[in-house]
Amino acid sequence: MAQALSHMDQCNRDLRSVMQRFEKTTTRLARRVDGGALVVDAVRDVTGLVRLQELSEAEKAFEVARHRARVAIFALAVEQGTNLSEMGRALGISRQLASRLGAEAAGLQPT
């Protein structure tokens, strides 16, 4: 579980870095357009900092890491005897999602 959480933390840092660069990009884009530049020219001028694809990839990597961390948390909780409903309430997620995560975690458990 610690490894999954550590990986999620790294993906979170990566995503924040991309989002900060994206914020600078959109601020520069807005300034250029407000200053009278054509949108297409402004986009060409400012997209060097971050491209939308890079933002999408960072978001996806974080979501995958977050899901894996949740599954690892559920696997450990089940191993420790915690029921799925209780774990779902602790995380503030629906019973349905808790059930899906529990089922996925059960698939990771050695038999």
- What is the residue extent of each domain of the chain? 2-108
Residue 111 — pLDDT band, cuts 50, 70, 90? very low
- Give residue 92's region: left, alpha or beta (phi > 0; psi -120 to 50): left
For range 40-52, the mean pLDDT: 77
H/E element holding 41? helix 39-46
* Per-residue pLDDT tens digits for 64-109: 999 999 999 999 998 999 999 999 999 999 999 999 999 999 886 5
